[in-house]
Structure 1
Amino acid sequence: MTTRARPAAAPRARAVGVVTALLLAPVCAELLQAYLGDLGGPGGLAFLVLFLAPLYGGAVLLVREVSVRTQRGWTGRLLLAGAFGVAMPTVVDLSVFTRTRDDLDGWGDIVGAASFGGIGWSAVVVWVVGHALMSVAAPLVVAESLAGDPRPWLGRTGLGVVGVGFVLVAVALNRDHVAQHAPAVDALRYAVSAAVVVALVVLALGPLGRPLPARERPGPSVRTCLAAGFVALAAFDLTPMSWGGLGLHLVLLVVAGGGVARWARSTGWTPRHLAALACGALVARTLVGFLAPLPQDTTWAEKISQNIGYLVLVLVLAALTLRRRTPLPDATARGDT
């Protein structure tokens, strides 16, 4: 694992990247699907985003800083994002082990789908992949595209602050969830979940996480990547949670992952192609949110207005992101998905 020092990014790039990551990540993680009930108006929405920023935005920043400083490729980044994806529903908010929730209608059907050994495996796949791709990877791509500087964004002090904020919010969510929902979690389940998280981090920091060499072949068009990101994420989100749905989710992951991996190893692959994939997925997640059931203590007018607001935000970010020409960070944006 290489850890040679690299100069920091320009101040403006650092500010744009850090702020975008901190504010966009919680929106992508918790709001685009519009499944939450009354948030207390704009003030409550702003509070939720700011409260969750150190957790979700912190995860994005930590994944990026580790990846940049150790010269990881996107395989390494996705493994680190996957570690966060596993940690969220099994260690932080304990959703996988929570059998009942009065604040979310249909929770029992969701967490019990494709159940074996007391765990709903359909929910595990959906939540882990969702957090890895939508809570970390997509916001990271947008933040990097807008910042336009492949160098590190945080110094030692910044890393310390982000790390402490991440841990504090994670612990607060864990304690709150335990107090309110009494999840069926014990020391063994914590230990197994933590072991999986650590294993993914070790894989990311090993040879598997390094960039792969590009091959002499043309890459896809940006429009093709945009459409592929949209179709793949929409198909994933619209697949029902069941044993059959679990199989379809796994097939989608293999097919989409293999296709993107092949594209990313072509000499025609650029950060704009990656940005198009992410933006297509964000638009799909937002549009699927229009189909979400009406949350508790919310009117249809309130829900649809939220959906429209999120869609406008995502479309504006997509337009800004796809206009940028982000430089390649050494070889890490090429051949490494």
Structure 2
Amino acid sequence: MSKPRLRRRIAPALGLFVLAPFVGELLLGNLAISEFGLALLLAPLYGGGALLIRETARRAGRGWPAMVLLAAAYALIEEGPVDQLLWNDAYAGHDLLHGESFLPAIGMNVGLTVTILALHTVWSICVPIAVVEAFVPDRRTEPWLGVPGLVVTALVYLGGVNLVFWGTLAEEDFMASPLQFASIGVVIAALIVLAFRVGRDPRPPLPGPAPSPWAVGAASLIGTSAFWGPANLVTADWYEWVNVAVWCVVAVAGTVLVLRWSRMDDWRPVHVFALAAGATLTYAWTAFPVQPETPGSATLDLVGNTVFAAVAVLILIGAGRAVTRHAGGAVALDR
């Protein structure tokens, strides 16, 4: 394979490897700009996971339903067996378990669980995949890596898993029970199996035009903001179950709408990008009230959030231009 062709295939894979931890930690506001190096250490976990999910699904001929389910499995893997946030009542010095939605029978908090499912499924995995695929719309459904690259990606991801597991264990000195590990393992396995069983048969198209990409992006921004905005701004205990209810409404309504819209004749890759762009902008604005895991200077936090938001907007502009040109220019974008 010629070097230009190799670079053409590898470039989007490297882009996804870098973008996933950027969105998942820095744009989220979880890490301050002074902790940029820590985001690089998390790249094998986030970037390796996103790339492995994308390549596995695309090589199997699967699309977004499979990637969403695999992303949900990734979320439970990271916050379950890997760093054990789902069960640790003193994670990073905070008790995130014993709130209003804590269920003693399973030792888990419903609000925390749906939150990590939303954050990792939507933002850590699906948003970076959709944005990078928008940069290369002519190769969005093709594998970017060969078998050797896929093996290397899997090894890098496993290295990231081990790094976070042992690092968190040393820092937190917490180990969940065998029953908790086994229970979540069953759920993770079910999600992975289901991912490769859905979407095998094409769904019949629906009559009528899909909403414009601008409308789809606005719906994504409003829906994701309705969940994640109040989750950061409202700190009262009573809101915990309300947030769970909001998550359920947004998740169900969003799934129903996207499944319906995607069956319409003029649904295009630019619509998928619009969904990701709306969710990205939600992270950009909600990062400002988020307190980083390691408290520091409020000024430095403001600067970091501003810089990361600006970088995200520039990335979206580049991806939007690429996918719009492929769709036929501004006319196609406005349909």
**TM-score using structure 2 length:** 0.87
Tell me, in whole angstroms, the C-alpha distance in 2 between the residues paired with 1:60 and 1:265.
Answer: 25
Alignment partner, residue 46 of structure 2: 56
Change (3 A) 1:294 1:29: closer
Kept in 2, the 8 Å contact 1:77–1:209? The answer is no
Alignment of 1:192-203 (within 5 A): 192-203=183-194
Partner in structure 2 of residue 140 of structure 1:
129
What is aligned with 1:223?
214
**Ranges in structure 1 where 5+ consecutive residues have no aligned partner:** 1-8, 329-337
Identity among equivalent pairs (%): 27
2:69 equivalent among 79, 89, 101: 79
Q: Alpha-carbon deviation of 1:101?
A: 3.4
Q: How large is the Cα RMSD of the aligned pairs?
A: 2.2
CA distance in 1, matches of 2:283, 2:98: 20
Is residue 239–residue 248 contact of structure 1 (8 Å, CA) maintained in 2? no
Aligned length in residues: 312
Equivalent in the alignment of 1:332: none
2:318 pairs with 1:313: no
Q: Which moved more, 1:220-229 or 1:49-58?
A: 49-58
Which residue does the alignment assign to 1:264? 262
Superposed, 1:227-238 pairs within 5 Å as: 227-238=218-229
Partner of 1:4: none
* Residues 63, 296 of structure 1: alpha-carbon distance in 2 compared, 3 angstrom cutoff: closer
Per the alignment, residue 32 of structure 1 pairs with: 27
Unaligned runs of 5+ in 2: 232-238, 328-335
Question: How far off is 1:48 after superposition?
Answer: 2.3
Is the Cα–Cα contact under 8 Å of residues 89 and 98 in structure 2 kept in the other structure? yes
**Equivalent in the alignment of 1:19:** 14
Q: 2:297 aligns with which of 296, 299, 323?
A: 299
Tell me how far 1:294 sits from its aligned partner. Answer: 6.3
- Checking the alignment, whether the CA contact within 8 Å between 2:135 and 2:323 is kept in structure 1 is no
Cα deviation for residue 212 of structure 1 reads 2.9
| Larger deviation, residues 180-189 vs 266-275 | 180-189
Report the Cα offset of residue 206 of structure 1.
1.2
Contact 1:74 1:209 in 2 (8 A): no
d(CA) in 2 for partners of 1:132 and 1:245? 17
1:278 corresponds to which letter in structure 2? A
Question: How far apart are 1:325 and its partner, in Å?
Answer: 3.0
Amino acid at match of 2:157: F
Find the counterpart in structure 2 of residue 254 from structure 1: 252
Matching residue of 1:89: 79
Partner deviation per Cα, 1:255-292 (whole Å, 9 max, x = no partner): 11111111111111101011011011101111001122
- On the 8 A contact 2:136/2:322 being kept in 1, the answer is no
Change (3 A) 1:188 1:160: same
Q: 1:113 to 1:53 in 2, by over 3 A?
A: farther
